[in-house]
Chain A
Amino acid sequence: AQTVTQSQPEMSVQEAETVTLSCTYDTSENNYYLFWYKQPPSRQMILVIRQEAYKQQNATENRFSVNFQKAAKSFSLKISDSQLGDTAMYFCAFMKPISGNTPLVFGKGTRLSVIA
């Protein structure tokens, strides 16, 4: 079974600074997908970024980018120019696609606080 580990329960960053959230996973699969979801206090789960394992290029979405190291099974999220609205829980998630969408396996999350 796949597992996802987020080793940082809590982190904080000054507004406008850069922060990196760590995620490692364990799988014997060669093809899979990785995701970062954001959960603000409203509790809505919001997709931040996704990465396909067979793509070597790291995904980017505006201020959010990932460092995907397939051999090391590492998938970290970098947030640049942090904003107060980035304050939230961040979850790393793994999916093994079998004929389409399949259940996500989540890490325990990292609580990020952006400080003014």
Chain B
Amino acid sequence: DARVTQTPRDKVTEMGQEVTMRCQPILGHNTVFWYRQTMMQGLELLAYFRNRAPLDDSGMPKDRFSAEMPDATLATLKIQPSEPRDSAVYFCASGPGTGVQRETQYFGPGTRLLVL
């Protein structure tokens, strides 16, 4: 049963600390997304990659957020330094990009981040 995995599941940290979230997309999927969910803004795109190349990161605060795909099996989202307003659930999703239902996205369980 292929699925997207994310670590950590929950993270509590203090303001100013670095936070790294990791995502393993479904094997063979060529598109990876990072979304953030808050009560006020709902679900919004932070960044996405196709074939490991960044296509859009306009949703990310550039001064503190960075997203990378070191290889096809790992996507990372880093926040440095973290701030209380970054508290949210961060979802990673992947999509096949080709074949049947290529437009469908499969979500990981999310990382709930609390910055004190």
Contacts and interface: CB of A to CB of B under 8 A. Distances in A.
What interface size band does chain A fall in? Answer: 20 to 34
B35 to A, nearest CB: 8
Contact of B56 (A50, A97, A103): A103
B110 A43 contact: yes
A43 B95 contact: no
Interface string A23-36: 00000000001010
B70 interface: no
Contacts of A95: 103
What interface size band does chain B fall in? Answer: 20 to 34
A39 to B, nearest CB: 9
Q: Determine the main DSSP class of A at the interface with B.
A: loop
Interface string B24-45: 0000001101010000001111
Contact of B45 (A37, A97, A103, A108): A103
B102 interface: yes
A100 B50 contact: yes
Contacts of B87: none
Interface of B: 30-31, 33, 35, 42-45, 48, 50, 56, 89, 91, 93, 95-98, 101-107, 109-110, 112
Given A43-B112, A45-B91, A101-B96, 11 more contacts: A44-B107, A45-B107, A47-B105, A50-B103, A91-B43, A95-B103, A101-B31, A101-B50, A102-B48, A103-B56, A106-B42
